[in-house]
Structure 1
Amino acid sequence: MQTTDIGENAHGAGPFLVTNRLILSIAVPMTLGFLTTPLLGLVDTAVVGQLGQATMLAGLAIGAIVFDLIFTTFNFLRSATTGLVAQAFGRGDKTEEQAVFWRSLSIALVSGAASLLLSPLLLAAGLWLLAPGPDVAGVTRTYFEYRILAAPAALANYAILGFVLGRGQGTTGLLLQTLINGINIVLSIFLGLHLGWGVMGVALATAIGEVVGALVGFAIVVSRFDRRFAPSWKTIFSPERLKPLFGLNRDIMIRSFVLLAAFMLMTRIGTSFGPVTLAANSVLMTIFLVAGYYLDGLANAAEQLTGRAIGARFRPAFDRVLKMTVIWSFTLAGFTTIALLIFGDRLVDLLTTAPDVRQEAYAHMPWAAITALTGVLAFLMDGVFIGATWSRDMRNMMLLAFAGYIAALCLLVPLFGNHGLWAALNLFLLFRGLLLLALVPRRSAQAFLPAQ
């Protein structure tokens, strides 16, 4: 199966020209692809929301957070792969590109199998951390036990997508994301509503989508490998080669875990406000994800192109990527916030039929709407730092931002309740972006110093 990506083979290794067309050739397909993920969240929420029970929505929300705890912890499989492949691409090292893929895929399959074996303990830990009521916990347990079956495939998809993005193959990324989430959406509606399986049907749909996506993605990636540059197994698993990958993995895992902890803490605090507020926050968090995934396409363009620039040791490309993606990101974030402020309440109506949940969500919609603007710099800087493989800085700045988030929660939640909770989330997003941006001048000067 072959697709053609704009700009994929337009330039070889070494210096390259950064244009709007090149940026958008990666950003637009990946934006469309990533939008299928929150669309999936919207559909899952809507399917369960049609049951008209806040308990079912709350159980789905808790289940999704538990899986975020497991899978987002392994998000380094995507991020580290993207950065290392992009830099190898910039150097013209085709053997190392393939080697990074096989290393990441091996780690993904082993980690997925371990997650499946440890699933009873993982579920128990998740329920203990989030402390839902008995009825909500029962719904969460059903969702978890079916979705966890696809853990190896889900993590394999991280490695596959990381390789595709590292090569700048935006159209292929769109194809895979659309396939995974498209299958998931169709089966969620069919199994969850048509057959009446509810939460179990939604979980099975997710598992099936992951498995099909992993098989198709693997076939596409491997079929494109040039066998002349195939690495030996000794090269793939060389300790010298594995060391930088594991170093990146460690830092990005800590960063991802802290980010997830921030969202879990929000859910945990929301639980204390009762099932109606928890369900409303779940709906609004789905809308927040729409904004985040919408902007992630440009972050992915920044990942690939900054990594490629560093691999090629070409500072002008790095500077131009940073400038152009900042302009594009803030423009799109502004439009997203305006759209959510105007149409957000209608979107809530599509997601739940429960009147009490709707009213609670209406009251807090402005907070969800402005997350596009408060989070845009954090999303983009994540892309820059992943492409540059500045993982230690990502980790450290995330820890600082989290400390600021905790302080904001302690100050604002007692004073303003759920409004304070959402205000603290927006401050956390701002902290992340500004702290990372402050490091860019010094880190970029160090990265390109040998070439000057």
Structure 2
Amino acid sequence: MSGLPSALTRRAILAQAWPIILGQTTVPLVGLVDTAVIGRTGDAAALAGVALGSTIINFVFWTFGFLRMGMTSMTAQAHGSRDDAEVEAMLLRGLALGFALGLLLLAAQVVLVPLAFALLAGGEKLDAAAHGYVTARFLGAPAALAVYAINGWLLGLGRTRAALALQIVMNLVNAALDIAFVWHFGFGARGVGLGTACAEWTALAAGLFIATRETGGLLVLRGLRSRALFAGQALKRLFAVNADIMVRTVALLLLFAWFTNAGARLGATALAANQVLMQFVSVSAFVLDGFAFTAEARIGSAIGAGSAEAMRRAMRLAAEFCVASGIAFAALFMLAGEPLVGLLTTNADVRTVAGSMLPFAAIIPAIGAPAWLLDGVFIGVTRTRALRNAAIAATALYIATDLALRGQGETGVWIALCLAYIYRALALGMHLPALLRTVESRQ
């Protein structure tokens, strides 16, 4: 196992963050390639089916995003304490948990898929196309969830370039297989789903190769011989941390689903305008998440090493980059937002509504930076109960705010969303002083 992360400097933080940022920006490429490949066939029903199916898959799969987040923090802590055996055991536990949950999803699709289409019915032809896509994507569930664990493990070790390589492998295989299955074999929407599922299995193979190289080989054999792999306390902590993060993730998914529904309530034009503006929020979130993920790993390593000073420095340096990036994005969107909206849609009504709401979307990177950063801090320290409670509180306050502002139309919808980020930051910020005192008392 390689040594501890490099010294805490701005250059080191940036060096660790940029592969994450680049990897994050490639995430939408999977959906973009899926859309482009099926879109070029001219089959509108297939294209709409992929869009509907992607919504279902993203919600179901990302519910298990705790496999990435929990792995990052706990791996970083073990690495910081120089416990190489626990680092290896963490990977094997994460892989086992991710693969098992993926198998459960694969079996449960007989219930989940009909339920999803009952809630999101789009017509017989559209549902048929979406059904083919969704059932094909479920074939990749065990691999997809296991890759979440590998990614979290690599990020916890600070191996961000390896995590980037893993993402690139999946994207390239996905693009190649989409083209083969759709354009050559004519599988339609199901072919897009099969291409992505096969890419996820390829990514799992690549991830296992990378992990084996990182650990010096014979990882599984050493892990199976190690009593630490099935240590009761370690397994209890793994499930407790992941359960909290899962609840937190579901709460935030509900928040954004409510936002989407709020736009739909105002009509197709408002919904389309919100979708356009949320692309700005998503792009900025990908970049800021790079610094938040780096904070998770650095802070987790500092906790493992028992250094409150290193934790404080990691927080401060990550905060500098996170806040500065948030302000820069806000300024960029304020200045160039309208031309960017024009690139994303040609519909005059949608452009008008999006332009009027642009200031709200533009300031989200600036006001959301503290929330994103604090997520990384609390995940890094594995104070996941506070993270869970903050997400629940923020979502409840957001829904109450949206209901109170319904008379304000689209403006009320965006004010409520902006306040949601403030609610998240405040809810976590309330726990921060106690967190710092606890860490310092351990020295």
TM-score (norm 1): 0.86
Cα gap change, 1:286/1:53 in structure 2, threshold over 3 Å: closer, same or farther? farther
Stretch moving more, 294-303 or 332-341 = 332-341
Counterpart residue number, 2:290: 297
Unaligned runs of 5+ in 1: 1-7
Percent identity between the aligned chains? 37
Counterpart residue number, 1:212: 202
Counterpart residue number, 2:146: 156
CA contact 1:337–1:373 (8 Å) conserved in 2: yes
Counterpart residue number, 2:257: 264
Cα gap change, 1:293/1:358 in structure 2, threshold over 3 Å: closer, same or farther? same
- In 2, Cα distance between the equivalents of 1:105 and 1:391? 21
Counterpart residue number, 2:22: 32
Q: 1:174: how far off? A: 1.3
Matched, 1:97 2:90: no
C-alpha distance after superposition, 1:312-370 (max 9, x if no partner)? 11111111111111111111112223333444455555555666655554554444333
Counterpart residue number, 2:436: 444
CA contact 1:90–1:310 (8 Å) conserved in 2: yes
Q: 1:426: how far off? A: 2.1
Counterpart residue number, 1:319: 312
What are the equivalent positions in structure 2 for 1:33-112 lying under 5 Å apart?
33-44=23-34, 60-112=50-102
- Give the letter aligned to residue 180 of structure 1: M
Q: 1:192: how far off? A: 6.1
CA contact 1:49–1:353 (8 Å) conserved in 2: no
Q: 1:47: how far off? A: 5.9
Stretch moving more, 150-159 or 188-197 = 188-197
Unaligned runs of 5+ in 2: none
Cα gap change, 1:424/1:410 in structure 2, threshold over 3 Å: closer, same or farther? same
- Give the letter aligned to residue 81 of structure 2: R
- In 2, Cα distance between the equivalents of 1:418 and 1:55? 30
- In 2, Cα distance between the equivalents of 1:48 and 1:264? 26
- In 2, Cα distance between the equivalents of 1:201 and 1:283? 27
CA contact 2:291–2:318 (8 Å) conserved in 1: yes
CA contact 1:302–1:321 (8 Å) conserved in 2: yes
What are the equivalent positions in structure 2 for 1:279-294 lying under 5 Å apart?
279-294=272-287
Number of equivalent positions:
440
C-alpha distance after superposition, 1:290-325 (max 9, x if no partner)? 221111110111000100111111111111111111
Counterpart residue number, 1:400: 393
Counterpart residue number, 1:384: 377
From 93, 106, 113, the equivalent of 2:103 is: 113
Matched, 1:330 2:323: yes
Cα gap change, 1:64/1:175 in structure 2, threshold over 3 Å: closer, same or farther? same
Stretch moving more, 286-295 or 109-118 = 286-295
Stretch moving more, 214-223 or 304-313 = 214-223
C-alpha distance after superposition, 1:264-301 (max 9, x if no partner)? 22233334444554444444434422221111110111
Secondary structure of the 1:74 match is coil
C-alpha distance after superposition, 1:181-214 (max 9, x if no partner)? 3433565577667987664454334323222211
If asked which structure has higher relative contact order (CA below 8 Å, sep 6+), I would say 1
- In 1, Cα distance between the equivalents of 2:295 and 2:149? 18
- Give the letter aligned to residue 104 of structure 2: A
- In 2, Cα distance between the equivalents of 1:57 and 1:355? 23
Q: 1:110: how far off? A: 0.8
CA contact 1:46–1:352 (8 Å) conserved in 2: no
- In 2, Cα distance between the equivalents of 1:269 and 1:195? 40
- In 1, Cα distance between the equivalents of 2:64 and 2:22? 23
C-alpha distance after superposition, 1:48-99 (max 9, x if no partner)? 6778999877655543332232112111111111111100001000000000
Secondary structure of the 1:118 match is helix
Counterpart residue number, 1:240: 233
Counterpart residue number, 1:3: none
Cα gap change, 1:259/1:54 in structure 2, threshold over 3 Å: closer, same or farther? farther
Stretch moving more, 68-77 or 315-324 = 68-77
Q: 1:242: how far off? A: 0.3
Counterpart residue number, 2:404: 411
From 422, 432, 443, the equivalent of 2:424 is: 432
Stretch moving more, 428-437 or 214-223 = 428-437
- In 1, Cα distance between the equivalents of 2:327 and 2:340? 18
TM-score (norm 2): 0.88
